[in-house]
Structure 1
Amino acid sequence: MAPKFGTSGLRGLVVELTPELVADYTRAFIRACPTGGTVMVGQDYRPSSPDIAEVVLRTIAAEGITAVDLGTLPTPALALASLTAGAAAIMVTGSHIPADRNGLKFYVPTGEITKHDEGAILSALGQPPAETAPGRIEVRTDAGARYVERYTTAFGDAALAGLRIGVYEHSSVAREILKETLTALGATVVPLGFSDTFIPVDTEAVDPETRALFRGWCAEHGLDALVSTDGDADRPMVTDASGEVIPGDILGALTSRSLGARVLCVPVSANSMIRQMPDFERIVATKIGSPFVIAAMEAQLAADPTAPVAGYEPNGGYLLGFTAQGPAGLLAPLMTRDCLLPIIAPLAAAKAAGLSLADLVAALPPRFTAADRLTEIPTEKAKDFIATLRDDPGPRDAFFAPTGRITSVDLTDGLRLSFADGTVVHLRPSGNAPEFRCYVEADSKQAAAEVLALYLDKLAARLR
């Protein structure tokens, strides 16, 4: 795919992310957005990331400001370091997409870039290198430790005591930090599945083979839970003791309840069971993507700076907008997608209640989601298909006839349909990859899985 740019950053095929293109976007970011005079740079474990990071670092220094090389670390650890230092940041990562692709994520000193920043960066492309004295390139190795400390301080050394937790290491940039943090919180950690090659883990679309692997590991090693992340570690993955993957929006609801959040900002695709939970006073539905969640959180905080506001996405990435009280100490806000908090908080809450993680989940209102994606779907073809279903009731009713009568149509992001039997089907082309996503919500896990399989087959027949 040709490189694409949006609020999730720049993504494209590695062969098309040329040094010239990477330098152009880096210069444009520096000239269009505040940096605080410093830009911190992190990277994931993709084989192309070191070379791209080197171009980014050299370009920053050539612009006359300080470049700080933080090496390989989770995206939220980079964001925490930059926010703490009042500096900008660039993460070299393609997130969950395959290793033949990569990208850049941009952070200003106050957090993720906005839609306004996106436009400013695009307008600043194509400018020549600066004619100025070069800045310096520094190397720092403490950002990961500060990220771990954030959670050990808030949860304490006994929060997970007695739990046996597997860590699916694969090529996650958080694999060492996960092991270190869980051990510091008292858990016995079992490392599993280390890989020297990059594995594109999508926490919203875990394939059947991987799910079977999880079930086998949990049984073989007697695990209370198995945890992991996507490649750049801004999305968590958690299973219960049986190896059953817990959806990210369930982790988000459990985390929010345990921290005392009262106002939730979540994408329209998030499980609606939170509307049945007495723990939350207000639910704000947004378009899909962390920039939209952050904008909604900021609006809520502008109206009431003391509001206990949190946000999360169905992929599990969690955003904390208030100072929360953990079991052992305070947890400062971090309004960027985080993987560690939605892993730790549900496990700690289950242990404190004397429950298994599966029991904690089972006590929630009975609404179930399922999601997956089709890959290698041309974006324009996907958008045209959505437009046809959106604008013409005839093709829409025909395509969704197996599920019955449509009772409402939500166009917040893509096409989200509610049916007379309570089922919800949500179709949406990805904004930064050639993928087409399908989300389903139903009153039983089996029904959600069956409806998802039905429409993935129908979509594949229409779009491939």
Structure 2
Amino acid sequence: MKQLFGTFGVRRVANTVLTPEFASEIAAAYGTKVKGTIAVGSDPRTSSEMIKHSVTAGLLSVGCDVVDLGTLPTPALQYGVRKYYDGGIMITASHNPPKYNGLKLLDADGIGTPDDLEEEIEEIYFGKKQQRVTWDKIGKAYKANIIDEYIDEVLKRVDTQAIRDANLKVVVDCGSGAACDTTPYIVRKLGCELTTLNCQPDGAFPGRNPEPTEDNLTDLISVVKATGADIAFAHDGDADRTICIDEKGQFVFGDKSFALVEKAMLEKNNGGKIVTTVATSNAIADIARQNNGEIILTKVGDLVVARKLKDVDGLFGGEENGGLIFPDFVYGRDSGLATAMILEIVAKTGKPLSQLIDELPTYYSEKRKVECADDKKAYVAEKILEETTDYEVDTTDGVKIINDKGWVIIRPSGTEPIYRCFSEAKTPEDAEELVEWGMNLINKYLD
């Protein structure tokens, strides 16, 4: 049973739990197992530079060479690791508030480390079994830049001329995070008229919370309406998630953009394997059935989806939160290519985003969350499972309860002390009813 690692990596409050000493020892434990040349990058959080120095020291101390790729999106680091290096560590807390930071550990394919390796890393960490080398075997440190290459590779994968010919007006909100050096440049290179919001890196995230939820994107929605933009994009802190706002200023849920790109990918490739999680909309399965696709469901977590995509030679995958995975490019959620692909779809169809979304299978969803101490999560799950034995239940991840109205999934977060509750149904009223029922189940066992 892992004690430190969550859904993807380790996240803690910076300089309280995630101290320089903690980061260095975790990195040394990782380096003890992985060896070779390790790429290191970070998002622009105020604590990232401190932690990066500690991670670098830990890796060097066990004989790894370290390439510092600077501040960049997680998918750009994953691209670099897959192509050039033996592993990687991304210093980020993704969508978490500014006081947090974390370590996303990558294998040589650029995928988050698997459970068995994380258990070994924890064993080394807690047992203080890091294999420190002698003074003459200490690793060497370098700096490199992968961002320009990453951007060029994104552009190679879309019809750039079609996008330029569409003369789209685009607004980009990077949330002051790691996308500031990628998405605005991708959009401009695609010939779009660009307006930027929160596109200066700032680890305090002064413009908005780094999680791109509808409540956090009110300024972006206002800018879309004021400028008459065709589409807007927003990212989280480490730029692996992409959320769209349509030309009417309407928030587009991540499963909708997932379904839109899935449809285009299946049409282009005459079918293929689509990998997603048990918490993703039934619309994904509907579109697969309509386009010669096969759906494979996994636990929640982009690294789980990415690993399954690799195992089954999948075409495309992702999650309901705006994380889209293009396995021929990056084995992880990729904001850069997701942005370019959605622009290509709008450009080549000649349809506004709102119309494209309306043409997808229609489902309604609701999302809630509530605080729950980590040491109480297992108890709550056990009691909910006991109470739902008379229902159709899927326990791939948490408890997913399915009835004739739709489904509700109740699962503990792997990165925060909270429980999440998502529902989906054919009507908004049923979705609301299901999520309220799910929340009542959680709250019943929190006290």
- Give the TM-score normalised by structure 2: 0.89
Kept after mapping to 2: 8 A contact 1:265/1:293: yes
Matches within 5 A, 1:358-369: 358-369=354-365
**Aligned counterpart, 2:105:** 106
Instruction: Check if 1:140 corresponds to 2:144.
Output: yes
1:248 is aligned to 2:243: no
For the Cα contact (< 8 Å) 2:28–2:61, is it kept in 1?
Answer: no
Secondary structure of 1:231's counterpart equals: coil
Quick check: 117-126 or 216-225, which moved more?
Answer: 117-126
Match for residue 307 of structure 2? 295
Query: Is residue 225–residue 239 contact of structure 1 (8 Å, CA) maintained in 2?
Result: yes
Residues 267 and 286, structure 1, Cα contact 8 Å, conserved in 2: yes
1:416 to 367, 380, 400: 400
Q: 1:75 matched to which residue of 2?
A: 74
The reply to whether residue 20 of structure 1 matches residue 10 of structure 2 is: no
Deviation at 1:274, TM superposition (A): 2.2
Aligned to 1:325: none
In structure 1, distance between residues paired with 2:209 and 2:37: 31
1:185 CA drift (Å): 1.1
In 2 relative to 1, CA 372–178 (structure 1 residues): closer, same or farther, beyond 3 Å? farther
1:346–1:106 Cα change, 3 Å: same
Secondary structure of the structure 2 residue equivalent to 1:64: coil
Residue in structure 2 matched with residue 327 of structure 1 by the alignment: none
Match of 2:10 in 1: 10
Q: Distance in 1 between matches of 2:198 and 2:149?
A: 26
Q: Provide the secondary structure at the position in 2 that maps to 1:175.
A: helix
Match of 1:273 among 265, 271, 283: 283
User: Superposition pairs for residues 159-238 of structure 1, below 5 Å?
Assistant: 159-161=162-164, 162-194=167-199, 196=202, 197-198=204-205, 199-203=208-212, 206-208=213-215, 210-238=216-244
* Residue in 2 that maps onto 1:117: 117
Deviations 1:188-217 (A, max 9, x none): 1101235632254224xx153x34333322
1:130 aligns with 2:133: yes
The one of 349, 352, 358 equivalent to 1:356 is 352
Runs of 4 or more, structure 1, over 6 Å off, are none
2:384 and 2:441 in contact (8 A); partners too: no
Contact (CA 8 Å) 1:11, 1:102: kept in 2 or not? yes
Corresponding residue for residue 408 of structure 2? 425
Letter of the 1:425 counterpart: V
Corresponding residue for 1:371?
367
Residues 262 and 284, structure 2, Cα contact 8 Å, conserved in 1: no
2:416 partner SS:
coil
Shift of 1:390: 0.3
One-letter identity of the residue aligned with 1:288: V
For the 8 Å contact 1:369–1:439, the answer to whether it is kept is: yes
Residue 341 (structure 2) pairs with residue 345 (structure 1)? yes
Normalised TM-score (structure 1): 0.86
What's the CA shift for 1:243?
2.2
Offset from partner CA, 1:329-361 (integer Å, 9 cap, x none): xxx432122112222212311221110111111
Which amino acid in 1 is paired with 2:85?
G
Deviations 1:275-329 (A, max 9, x none): 222124311111111232133223323xxxxxx52211112222223xxxxxxxx
Conserved? CA contact 2:29–2:124, under 8 Å: yes
| Structure 1, gaps ≥5 residues long | 302-307, 322-331, 397-405
398, 423, 426: which is aligned to 1:443?
426
Which has the larger displacement, 107-116 or 85-94? 107-116
Cα distance in 2, alignment partners of residues 154 and 213 from structure 1: 31
Q: Which amino acid aligns with 1:136?
A: K
* CA distance in 2 between partners of 1:119 and 1:4 (Å): 9
Structure 1 residue 49 displacement after superposition? 0.6
The 3 A distance-change label for structure 1 pair 121 and 168 is same
Q: Distance in 2 between matches of 1:207 and 1:462?
A: 29
Q: Distance in 1 between matches of 2:368 and 2:242?
A: 16
Q: Deviation of residue 92 (structure 1)? A: 0.4
TM-superposition CA deviations, 1:361-382 (whole Å, max 9, x none): 11111123332433x4212323
Pair 283,387 (structure 1): closer, same or farther in 2 beyond 3 Å: same
Letter in 2 for 1:202: E
Classify the secondary structure of the residue corresponding to 2:11: strand
What is the Cα deviation at residue 164 of structure 1?
0.7
Which ranges of structure 2 fall in alignment gaps of 5 or more residues? none
The reply on whether 1:285 has 2:312 as its aligned counterpart is no
- The answer to whether the Cα contact below 8 Å between 1:87 and 1:109 also exists between their aligned partners in 2 is yes
Quote the Cα distance in structure 2 between the aligned partners of 1:211 and 1:96.
Answer: 13
Q: Write the distance in 1 (CA, Å) between the matches of 2:173 and 2:78.
A: 23
2-side partners of 1:123 and 1:357: how far apart?
49
SS at match of 2:421: strand
Tell me the residue number matched to 1:313.
Answer: 319
Match of 1:30 in 2: 31
Q: Is the 8 A contact 1:255 1:341 kept in 2?
A: no
**Range 97-106 or range 448-457, more displaced:** 448-457
Q: Structure 2: how far apart are the matches of 1:107 and 1:220?
A: 41
Aligned-partner Cα distance in 2 for 1:115–1:282:
26
